[in-house]
Structure 1
Amino acid sequence: MAIAAAEHRRASEAAVSVRDVGMRFGKVHAVRNASFDLPQGKFLTILGPSGSGKTTLLRMIAGFDAPTSGEIFIGGQPVNAVPPHRRAIGMVFQKLALFPHMTAAENVAFPLKMRRSDARRIPDTVERYLDLVRLGGYGGRRIHELSGGQQQRVAIARALVFEPDLLLLDEPLAALDRKLREEMQLEFRRIQKELGVTTINVTHDQREALVVSDEVIVMDGGVIQQKAAPVSAYRTPANAFVANFIGVTNFIEGHVKTLAGPSVTLDASRGLALPGIAAGEKLRQGGRALGALRAEQIRIAPAATGLDRLDVTVDGSVTDAIFEGERIVYEVAVPALGDMPFRVFDHDPVGHQQFTSGEAVRLGWNARDMHVFNT
């Protein structure tokens, strides 16, 4: 009884509470036993690959699909039986669904008119929200007269103008080019912070999730793999899937040689003993394991120099060097650690020596930088 009362209290205090929610399509489990609480005013991103269940979970929160199990609460009230139009939710989709025959202002005014708001106050409200999304003076333009980013802003204003309890975003930036997408990510963050509206965003874009969110949920196979602040999901992933999905990660196969509290030694595939930190699921002596190393945590240097202060150093040779402007991405063959090339970031391509394909190099890292997971 005490546990049930505590669960009910958390659900009533949260803006959104999802309790053991599942969705089945025939024999397929699109979502399995999903549970989380989202506090008022926070920005949550649900992140995962195609088919992970993230959009299905969002559709259940929106009311477009009814869960086959579990319960969803919005503002402390159960909503499984409440249709979408009776939930105080604003939505922005990848396909913006703006009305092309209307002006920007008319599009923004539409939700207010449908809710029979005071007609005398609508123009001022619309103008205020167009100013919020930095489209002041654009209200008279038709949709085809606006750029992709401006159309996006109109869709945001329309979703927010009636002051919903919850804003849902279903990959709204996926169709934009990279530069505009990154600009709009910052805009979403600014607007959400300014209004304090509770927001749930769905995306497969890892950068977007890290940039805009207070919390992220990583999903795979219909299951929530981790719910955490972006920095925690990135730096302390719950399992190998999260480590692989967020960021650029190198994996080393092996067996657990020694265990001493959080410290672990991985016996790599060719007999090299590598110190690391136990992560995620419980490891066992002699069990198969994966060492995970972020590309930016590995240091690269000429073969004959340095890195002696690091806990681990290995020799390799560059197989490719990819210039990305702010960094160079190296692929390095390391025979002592198997056949898969290591990916390494050099974040100072101007100040550092630049290596060419075929050049011998040395890689190094510290024990704390390698997280070791069960396989």
Structure 2
Amino acid sequence: MTQDTSSAVSAKNVEMQFGDFRAVKDASFELENGRFLTILGPSGSGKTTLLRMIAGFLTPTSGEIFINGQAVSAVAPYKRSIGMVFQKLALFPHMTAAENVAFPLKMRRFDARTIVDRVTEYLNLVRLDGLENRRINELSGGQQQRVAIARALVFEPDLLLLDEPLAALDRKLREEMQLEFRRIQKELGVTTINVTHDQREALVVSDQIIVMDHGQIQQDAPPTTMYRTPNNPFVANFIGVTNAFEGELVTRNDKSATGKFKGKELTGVLRSQSSDLKQGMAIRAAVRAEQIRIVSKTESLADVDADFEGTVVDVIFEGERLLYEINVPALGATPFRIFHHDQNDFATHELGKSVRIGWKCRDLHIFVAGTKGSI
């Protein structure tokens, strides 16, 4: 089966069922050539199952997946031009780095006269020049990751699939390798699909992000769109640190809504587009931690549309920023989490101190309380 499409990868109403359990539900998306897509979600969200269907390891219960216009199910596994890097790298310990990278070329019967030069080229690409004769156990974790990347790319696949390959690395090395993935992908222009539960990784490396939960695609968008205009409360909470509180709808128009929250009316951007929204309906509001201003109780909050009094209940030092937890009685019992980035002013708000917090209307997201996902 083929389809007329310019997309490198497309999924059409794909479902995967294991007995009575639907692991993936009616998933559809398009990925253009040369783009980097990350499928993001918590454990059990269906992201790895979707990747395995794209790879051809699983056959969808219904629907179809196409790579370069051809159905995955119509191509024999040994003919699929797909490179893969797994969390368990599956490198051959008895081989050197160069021998590992050469392996897929030999399996595909490349001209033996070209293999050495091609292996050298790809080891240089992943910055392992000079280490080609080391065995795998003589390489660091990050160097092993680079060997796996070079091996997946050396035969110039149409598609590169990454199944949480960085999950076992420590934070610093993981962040370094995220930048390496981005550099290599941009340099080669290979279409790439990455699966992860790491929100930072998705934002750093991707041109496009799909967020999944309970087998369903919750949103499919570029990173900036995903972060700034979440489709529903689940997406708002899963990417970034978000504060949420509940109220009831007062008025709405096409772009904004005003709600009543414990007696106080607040206006924000309406994220739930439905003609059924009516006055008195339960709504949920959300505002990101970095969008909230915080000052001492005696200071005034300039350029905000809503402000409240609160009390500092915790201060967490995270290196480049402080994370404040603030009790705001007017908005419920759950403390607000607020990021503070001014490194010259870190000691301003101490435990137990009264403060004022506030934000602009444009930074408050309002959803219908029954919207898919939860905060």
TM-score bracket, shorter-length normalisation: over 0.9
CA distance in structure 2 between the aligned counterparts of 1:281 and 1:60, rounded to whole angstroms: 32
Counterpart mapping for 1:245-260 below 5 A: 245-260=238-253
> Cα deviations across residues 311-337 of structure 1 (Å, max 9, x unaligned)?
000000000000111100000000011
Q: Which residue of 2 aligns with 1:294?
A: 288
CA distance in structure 2 between the aligned counterparts of 1:72 and 1:324, rounded to whole angstroms: 43
Q: Is 1:104 paired with 2:112? A: no
CA distance in structure 2 between the aligned counterparts of 1:207 and 1:277, rounded to whole angstroms: 25
Q: Which amino acid aligns with 1:115?
A: R
- Selected match of 2:343 from 346, 349, 364: 349
> Shift of residue 264 of structure 1?
1.1
Unaligned stretches of 5+ residues in structure 2:
370-375
> Cα deviations across residues 326-363 of structure 1 (Å, max 9, x unaligned)?
10000000001110000000011323652111111000
Q: Which residue of 2 aligns with 1:278?
A: 270
CA RMSD of aligned residues (A): 1.2
Question: 1:255·1:288 contact (CA, 8 Å) conserved in 2?
Answer: yes
Q: Which residue of 2 aligns with 1:66?
A: 59
CA distance in structure 2 between the aligned counterparts of 1:124 and 1:262, rounded to whole angstroms: 58
3-state SS, counterpart of residue 33 of structure 1: strand
**Length, aligned pairs only:** 366
CA distance in structure 2 between the aligned counterparts of 1:189 and 1:265, rounded to whole angstroms: 41
Unaligned stretches of 5+ residues in structure 1:
1-6
CA distance in structure 2 between the aligned counterparts of 1:154 and 1:143, rounded to whole angstroms: 9
Normalised by the length of structure 1, the TM-score is 0.96
> Shift of residue 261 of structure 1?
3.1
Normalised by the length of structure 2, the TM-score is 0.96
Question: 2:322·2:346 contact (CA, 8 Å) conserved in 1?
Answer: no
CA distance in structure 2 between the aligned counterparts of 1:265 and 1:353, rounded to whole angstroms: 36
- Selected match of 1:29 from 22, 40, 48: 22
3-state SS, counterpart of residue 161 of structure 2: strand
Q: Which amino acid aligns with 1:372?
A: I
Q: Which amino acid aligns with 2:215?
A: G
Q: Which residue of 2 aligns with 1:199?
A: 192
- Selected match of 1:242 from 228, 235, 238: 235
> Cα deviations across residues 275-323 of structure 1 (Å, max 9, x unaligned)?
1111134243221111010000000000111114310000000000001
3-state SS, counterpart of residue 301 of structure 2: coil
Question: 1:55·1:202 contact (CA, 8 Å) conserved in 2?
Answer: yes
Give structure 1 regions of 4+ aligned residues with deviation exceeding 6 angstroms: none
* Higher deviation after alignment, 118-127 or 353-362: 353-362
Q: Which residue of 2 aligns with 1:114?
A: 107
CA distance in structure 1 between the aligned counterparts of 2:34 and 2:54, rounded to whole angstroms: 16
Q: Which amino acid aligns with 1:187?
A: E
Q: Which residue of 2 aligns with 1:124?
A: 117
CA distance in structure 2 between the aligned counterparts of 1:213 and 1:263, rounded to whole angstroms: 29
CA distance in structure 2 between the aligned counterparts of 1:287 and 1:349, rounded to whole angstroms: 42
CA distance in structure 2 between the aligned counterparts of 1:13 and 1:263, rounded to whole angstroms: 36
> Shift of residue 265 of structure 1?
1.0
Counterpart mapping for 1:132-281 below 5 A: 132-268=125-261, 270-281=262-273
